[in-house]
Amino acid sequence: MPNSDAEFLTIRQMCARFGVTPRTLRFYEAKELIFPVRKGQSRLYTRRDRGRLKLILRGKRFGFALEEMRQLLDLYDRGDAQVEQLRRTYAAAQARLAEMERQRAELDEAIVELKADLAWGADRLATLGRAAAE
């Protein structure tokens, strides 16, 4: 039985734990976001990879581009100038929040509009239905 707290996880174990596809993990590796070690031809993911992937998926939910996440993760990896790193991440997060709130406003507007269209459509259908019944 595979121990998911083991030092190394296979690609299948990673997919199961994080809900992603093998293609996604290979893609992130090609983009230099994670760095699994090799055992023969197979990939083995370390604790570090798990930590990074978790942050990557969090960042995705906030709309960060993968390249942006890579840069932020690399900042933390170097471990120097802690405050400066945090400041940059904080600024990036603020920018993301603003963008997300703009998106929400747009989405809200579109939803209201579409609902109005649907009401109009329901009305039309009712009218056409009555006309056909006569």
- State how far the Cα of 12 lies from the Cα of 85, in Å rounded to an integer: 33
Using CA atoms, how far apart are residues 131 and 34, in angstroms rounded to an integer? Answer: 64
| 121 touching its own copies, by CB under 8 A | yes
Q: Which is nearer to its own copies, 37 or 97 (CB)?
A: 97
Rounded Cα distance between 48 and 129, Å, is 63
Q: For the segment 1-60, give every residue that binds its own copies (CB under 8 A).
A: none
Can you give the binding site for DNA, defined by CB under 7 A? 10-12, 21-24, 26-28, 40-43, 60, 65-67
Can you give the binding site for its own copies, defined by CB under 8 A? 61-63, 82-83, 86-87, 89-90, 93-94, 96-97, 100-101, 103-104, 106-108, 110-111, 113-115, 117-118, 121-122, 124-125, 128-129, 132
